[in-house]
Structure 1
Amino acid sequence: MAPAARSRGAAAGGRSNPIERARRGWEKLGHILTDPRYTALLGVCLCLAELGVSHWVIQRVPYTEIDWKAYMDEVEGVLNGTYDYTKLQGDTGPLVYPAGFVYIFSAFYYLTEHGTNIRLAQYIFAVLYLLTLFLVFRIYIVTRKVPPYVFFFMCCASYRVHSIFLLRLFNDPVAMVILFLAINLILQDHWSWGCFFYSLAVSVKMNILLLAPGLLYLLLCRFGLLRTIPKLCICALLQVILALPFLMENPAGYLLRSFDFGRQFLFQWTVNWRFLPEHVFQHRAFHLALLSAHLVGLLLFCFYRWHRSGQSILTLLKDPAQRKPQSRRLTANSILTTK
């Protein structure tokens, strides 16, 4: 009886082993999906998955022409010798982006057979997309704050991201990949290079200026006023160098067109404010209200979120070594919550 009982017990144990292994495997998978230490592993897997997803989107989903042809017309004017920004325009209107945009999209112009090879342009933007993912994942690897499963919804499951990068060929992806490179450099304490690439991102699209207050605050925290000035000079000097051919031709025209803060956006292209009536969206009072809300938000963050040491915010102007008590060294998480 005893040997038979042991035999039945062994058989039962053998039958339970696959279930137990499946349970342990499921627990391990859950651990990988929720533990930030596995961000690098999930990032690699998602980037590989995005190779296939991006190829499928390019091959199967119809491309939508919105701004690409206009971009090509605008840079073609520069390549033909027109450096007066007031005379450069495309199908959708005048050229309204800074000089860095012109140089980068001029390269795209030649790479894509004067902008006519849309499929090749889509694959170029697919490379930019994968590079952006790599840089974003790298930021989260450093901070270890977000569970890795979130990244699936950030990339593979996002229709809007694929649309912007692969189906519209906007200039936003170019500006953002440079911006994320700048953030990575700053996280590695390479502030001069970070400022250089931040300024380069601004030279592609002006909306990157929205991060300027946060960057200025971080520079003051890290260096104080006197040592911040050279970093700001890097940003300014790059803008001047890139814009020099256009500034020599028509400086006022370049500044008014490339950094036009009064530009009116078309209601037909809005996504976030689609619920508003068009006359409200186009009204100047609505624009001023948004600007005021943004400025108030910056002030609240400056005094109540970013600076919470109990000291006057003017102490940021001092050299960090002369502050009493001395400021704590900026960490990756403190940098990211500021920017």
Structure 2
Amino acid sequence: MPPTIPLTNDTLDITHPLRTAKNLLTRSQYFWFIACLILIGEATLCRLIIRFIPYTEIDFETYMIQTDLYLTGQRDYSKITGPTGPLVYPAGHVHIHHLLYNLTEGGAIEYLPKIQELYAGLYLLTMALTFFVYRRAGIPQYVLLLLPLSKRLHSIYVLRLFNDCWAAPLSMGAIHAFQKRRWAIGCILFGLAISIKMNVLLYMPALCLTLLLTNGLVLSLFYLSLTFITILITSQPFLESYPREYLVSAFNLGRQFLYKWTVNWRFVPEPTFLSAPFARGLLLCHVALLGIFGLGAWCRKQGGALAVLERALQNPIKEAAISSVTQDYIATVFFTANLIGILCARSLHYQFYSWYATQLPLLAWRTKYPIILRILILATIEYAWNTYPSTDLSSGLLLAAHILLVLGVLFGYPEGRNTAMVRWDDEIEVEKLD
């Protein structure tokens, strides 16, 4: 009788369902199996949402009307407006909706289901790119199961058709490119994302630091120039005709949002919310937090921010890092910079959840909190974004959850948890990412 071959700990065996389930959720060779199952489930869910839940018109009609004005020859941004207000997004937004305008004969209602399917595709693309970023950061696949649970995120993409849905996959694609050391591609994607929504600038501190560490000062300036050239190219039709009107409208850093739509700071009285001192205070907090992370937490393994800057100036053609800049580091630093900006934003509208919803599980797993607290933080954030209209309680909980998450990363793993090796569970499996 031939000897039996014992099963290894990472095999799948239907006679051992618990071990099989554990291996599927923790062993790295099954990461993409779980990821593909999630994408299949998400595709099915999006189709069901389109079929059974009514579409809610908020801004898409305005996008089409503004595009119609552009197509009739209007290039003065201050005169391009619609039912919900003037055009306040950069030119990439206009070019995308120019394409959608042509595909839908000016936004005709009979084309709406097809447009919803297109946005469902954007949702799936965002998820797929998120999986790539998580994989390279060494996040185990059981964390991916948290990503499809957001009711608000499905609504933003499939039922509301906000332009944020175009900036999100471009931003995530740029981060994935940076993880792969495709700096030129990443910076071009980054520029395209900024040309749609200005909030993408929240990543800029992380981008500058990462480029400096990995490429040195001279190459960093070159790669950053690709970002700005991309923005200039998309903006060319408006910069040629009415440059001042375009820059003031599309890149207005002082624009005020309406208090009635805010998800955060609802517990703050409206006069205070709208006041200049409140705005300056939030800006100061933003700068202070970036300083704490940038001057300290993000450069610990590099000998400190001043040492990084000194090396960059002494030899501007050489990378400023003395320790490896890992794929996990890149994801963690970019996501943290974005979260800091969101924490310190004066007003968050409901569609802004798409800016960071897919990044939250990774950040939670870069804290040292118990798993139950991580999940509680994520659930609290989701609750706040699903409370309409926002209340003192929901906005207060959102602020508390954001603060807990930022502090958790600061005192946890602000430079990422994985260096050269990736640990997937609490047992013996350790592997190096490609």
Name the TM-score, length of structure 2 as normaliser: 0.69
Query: Could you tell me which residue of structure 2 aligns to residue 16 of structure 1?
Result: none
Question: What is the letter of the counterpart of residue 329 of structure 2?
Answer: S
Deviates more, 1:309-318 or 1:43-52: 309-318
Aligned pairs for 1:184-333 within 5 A? 184-308=176-300, 309-311=302-304, 312-318=307-313, 319=315, 327-333=322-328
Contact 2:214 2:319 in 1 (8 A): no
Structure 2 Cα separation of the partners of residues 225 and 153 of structure 1: 39
Q: 2:153 aligns with which of 161, 173, 185?
A: 161
Q: Deviations over 1:29-53 (max 9, x none)?
A: 1232234543211110000001110
Contact 2:215 2:318 in 1 (8 A): no
Structure 2 Cα separation of the partners of residues 322 and 185 of structure 1: 21
Structure 1 Cα separation of the partners of residues 34 and 49 of structure 2: 22
Structure 2 Cα separation of the partners of residues 38 and 287 of structure 1: 47
Query: Could you tell me which residue of structure 2 aligns to residue 142 of structure 1?
Result: 136
Question: What is the letter of the counterpart of residue 118 of structure 2?
Answer: I
C-alpha change, 1:60 and 1:276, in structure 2 (3 Å) is: farther
1:70 aligns with 2:65: no
Structure 1 Cα separation of the partners of residues 290 and 272 of structure 2: 24
Q: 1:105 aligns with which of 77, 97, 101?
A: 97
Structure 2 Cα separation of the partners of residues 75 and 150 of structure 1: 40
Structure 2 Cα separation of the partners of residues 93 and 322 of structure 1: 48
Q: Deviations over 1:34-80 (max 9, x none)?
A: 34543211110000001110011111112111111111111111111
Question: What is the letter of the counterpart of residue 222 of structure 2?
Answer: P
SS in 2 for 1:265: coil
Query: Could you tell me which residue of structure 2 aligns to residue 174 of structure 1?
Result: 166
Query: Could you tell me which residue of structure 2 aligns to residue 151 of structure 1?
Result: 144
Tell me the number of residue pairs that the alignment of Structure 1 and Structure 2 aligns: 316
Query: Could you tell me which residue of structure 1 aligns to residue 422 of structure 2?
Result: none
Question: What is the letter of the counterpart of residue 252 of structure 2?
Answer: D
Question: What is the letter of the counterpart of residue 331 of structure 2?
Answer: L
Q: Deviations over 1:226-259 (max 9, x none)?
A: 1111111111111111111101111110000000
TM superposition shift of 1:273 = 3.1
Contact 2:216 2:319 in 1 (8 A): no
Structure 1 Cα separation of the partners of residues 156 and 28 of structure 2: 28
C-alpha change, 1:137 and 1:115, in structure 2 (3 Å) is: same
Query: Could you tell me which residue of structure 2 aligns to residue 9 of structure 1?
Result: none
Q: CA RMSD in A?
A: 1.9
Question: What is the letter of the counterpart of residue 153 of structure 1?
Answer: L
Q: Deviations over 1:146-183 (max 9, x none)?
A: x323322211x210110110111111110011111111
Contact 1:39 1:137 in 2 (8 A): no
Structure 2 Cα separation of the partners of residues 84 and 322 of structure 1: 44
> Which of the pair is proportionally richer in helix?
1
Query: Could you tell me which residue of structure 2 aligns to residue 127 of structure 1?
Result: 121
SS in 1 for 2:175: helix
Query: Could you tell me which residue of structure 2 aligns to residue 335 of structure 1?
Result: 330
Q: Deviations over 1:56-110 (max 9, x none)?
A: 1111112111111111111111111111111111111110000111101111111
Question: What is the letter of the counterpart of residue 260 of structure 2?
Answer: Q
Query: Could you tell me which residue of structure 1 aligns to residue 397 of structure 2?
Result: none
Please say which structure displays the higher CA radius of gyration.
1
C-alpha change, 1:222 and 1:287, in structure 2 (3 Å) is: same
Structure 2 Cα separation of the partners of residues 275 and 36 of structure 1: 44
Question: What is the letter of the counterpart of residue 78 of structure 1?
Answer: Y
C-alpha change, 1:56 and 1:221, in structure 2 (3 Å) is: same
Query: Could you tell me which residue of structure 2 aligns to residue 33 of structure 1?
Result: 25
Deviates more, 1:213-222 or 1:273-282: 273-282
Structure 2 Cα separation of the partners of residues 277 and 30 of structure 1: 49
Contact 1:175 1:205 in 2 (8 A): yes
Contact 2:60 2:161 in 1 (8 A): yes
Structure 2 Cα separation of the partners of residues 76 and 218 of structure 1: 40
SS in 2 for 1:273: coil
Name the TM-score, length of structure 1 as normaliser: 0.88
